[in-house]
Amino acid sequence: MKNLKYLFSGLILILLFQSCLKDSCTEQREFIQYTPVYMTKAQFRKNVEATVTRKLENPGKMYFYKQYLFINEQGKGVHIYDMKDETNPVKISFYDIPGNFDIAVKNNIMYADNAIDLIAIDITDISNPKTVKRIEDFNNQYINYDPQLYYVYSVKSNVTQILDCNNPNFGRGIFFEGGFANFDASSAPNSSVINTGNNTSSSGIGGSFARFTVVNDYLYTVNQSSLKSYLISTPSNPEFKNTTQLGWGIETIFPYKDKLFVGSNAGMFIFDNSRPETPVLLSTFEHARACDPVVVHENTAYVTLRNGSECNGFINQLDVIDISNILQPKLIKSYPMKHPHGLSYSEGKIYLAEGEYGFKVLNAEDPNKINEIAKIENIHSYDMISLTKDRLFMIGDDGFYQYNVTDPKTPKVVSTIKINE
């Protein structure tokens, strides 16, 4: 009798399971779709020209050099603005550079990625750029389904899809379909900027999502798996020197004194840069998988981790790390955040971008007691540059904003460059 009871129970479970299989469910999801654009080498390997100014549509990198602000139009080139009158940025021109996302400048020479190539551009005459050197195939990591075609950029568009619950992408924020990536609208990828750690008068200033940075006579670049060094003692003639393999998921580079701090989606690498041609790995700090920009001040490193992104993380926090013993970095404390992106340190304060939640000003004088000074909402923010102790640059999906932060409790807008302007 007991066996019959168990058999009867098993049959009920099977019938219920089969009934569930016949049920269907759907969900309407909004996505930001990125459809890749491919080019042949002949199409993207051309001398850089300044074209008529165009609208800022999809801002990425920002970089400040002399009196000029450079804002990357993701994958397409660079907008140039004259900031001599800080209250009134003036459009100068647009540099047409297919496949461009990162720049750095030294002595009037701009270094820029051009799809898989690295190019050096003389910008002495800002309205008449001249390509002075091209290093072909400096970055051989690209999406390529045809040996003659190379990934250059993606076209961003909003789409709505009805997904069946049996679809393997049901409930996922990021997935690939039909040869392109789909990102949940709440978790679109963001690229950004360059560094402030070792700025000199001969080079420019940028922010925390760097993949290019200049330190004295060397240009450093990172791609998804390696760190490369180029000698630029003659700025117009960059010479490749060394590649260091780092594993997958490399994202940012931040120079500070004689060290290089490389952020990955699984941790932070610290390099001794006293022999600049061949940086030596000293230590690593591991964290949960998440996007990871890094900035450093004295014996403290600040790392943001966020979820809902292409990094597939599950946490939103600011990690504060003790690097007084550079061989054994240790976590001081983690501070919960809403959705942290890029950040900048200045005069005991951290300016921290939080995507759709705006940005925060944090008191960081005591790493054990970081607290919020101010919060700017109703704006999109993904990276910051502390230009001076009184001026802050911010960039996000809405465009570029300059703030007066003389009183950090009440940042005041000085000027803006909005998208579609």
The pLDDT of residue 141 is above 60 = no
The pLDDT tens digits for 338-380 are 999 999 999 999 999 999 999 999 999 999 999 999 999 999 9
3-state secondary structure of 186: helix
Residue 52, φ and ψ in degrees, nearest 5: -60, 155
- Split at pLDDT 50, 70, 90, the class of 67 is very high
pLDDT at 56 over 60: yes
In angstroms, the CA 415 to CA 91 distance is 13
Give percent of the chain with pLDDT exceeding 90: 63
What mean pLDDT, rounded, does the chain reach?
83
Task: Calculate Rg over the CA atoms of the chain.
Answer: 24
Contact 363, 370 (CB under 8 A): yes
403-415: average pLDDT: 97
Sorted by sequence, the CB contacts under 8 Å of residue 84 that are 6+ apart come out as 67, 90
Measured between alpha carbons, how far is 417 from 405 in angstroms, rounded to an integer? Answer: 18
> Would you state the pLDDT for residue 247?
80
Taking only the tens place, the pLDDT of each residue in 241-285 is: 999 988 878 889 999 999 999 988 878 999 999 999 999 999 999
pLDDT cut 70: percent of the chain above it: 77
151: β partners: 38
Domain with 104 in it: 46-135+190-418
pLDDT of residue 30: 66
pLDDT of residue 142: 54
- Whether residue 212 is predicted with pLDDT greater than 50 in this model: the reply is yes
- Is 23 contained in some domain? no
Residue 34 confidence (pLDDT): 73
In a domain, 310, yes or no: yes
For 197, 247, 293, 345, the CA distances from 326, given in Å and listed in that order, are: 17, 21, 18, 20
Burial code (b: 16+ CB inside 10 Å, e: under 16) for 357-377 equals bbbbbbebeebeebeebbebe
Cα gap 348→234, rounded to integer Å: 36
pLDDT confidence tier of residue 166, bands split at 50, 70 and 90: low
Return the number of other C-beta atoms located less than 10 Å from residue 98's C-beta: 19
| Total count of domains within the chain | 1
pLDDT at 163: 62
Domain membership flag for residue 17: no
Predicted confidence (pLDDT) at residue 3 exceeds the cutoff of 50: no
Q: How far apart are CA 103 and CA 127, in angstroms?
A: 17
Element containing residue 19 per DSSP (H, E): helix 2-22
270 three-state secondary structure = strand
pLDDT at 208 over 70: yes
Which whole-number Å values give the CA distances from 343 to 49, 260, 292, 340, 414, in the listed order? 32, 17, 11, 8, 20
The predicted model gives 54-72 an average pLDDT of: 94
Model confidence at 18: pLDDT above 90: no
Q: Which two tokens stand for residue 223?
A: 């791609």
Strands 371-376 and 359-363: antiparallel
In a domain, 74, yes or no: yes
Does the residue 7 lie in any domain?
no
Torsion sign, CA atoms 18, 23, 28, 33: positive
Which residue is associated with the tokens 């007084």? 324
Give the span between the Cα atoms of 363 and 350, in whole angstroms: 7
Between 34 and 333, residue with greater pLDDT: 333
Q: What is the CATH number of the domain that holds 312?
A: 2.130.10.10
Model pLDDT for residues 274-328, shown as the tens digit of each residue: 999 999 999 999 865 666 689 999 999 999 988 765 555 568 999 999 999 999 9
Q: Give the span between the Cα atoms of 60 and 104, in whole angstroms.
A: 14
Structure token pair of residue 145: 């389904």
Which of 20-29, 156-165, 199-208, 244-253 is least confident? 20-29
Residue 248 located in a structural domain: yes
| Per-residue model confidence (pLDDT) at position 394 | 96
Residue 133: what residue type? K
Q: For position 114, what pLDDT does the model report?
A: 95
Q: Per-residue pLDDT for 126 more than 90?
A: yes
Indicate whether 4 belongs to any domain: no
Residue 12: inside a domain: no
Instruction: For residue 165, name the pLDDT band (cuts at 50, 70, 90).
Output: low
Q: Dig out the tokens for 22 from the structure.
A: 């016949």
Let me know the angle formed at the C-alpha of 335 by 333 and 338, rounded to the nearest 5 degrees: 160
CA angle 342, 346, 350 (to 5 degrees): 45
Does residue 103 register a pLDDT over 90?
yes
297 CB-contact burial (10 Å; exposed 0-12 / middle 13-18 / buried 19+): middle
How many degrees, rounded to 5, is the angle at CA 60 between CA 52 and CA 360?
Answer: 130
Asked if residues 318 and 304 have their Cβ atoms less than 8 Å apart, the reply is yes
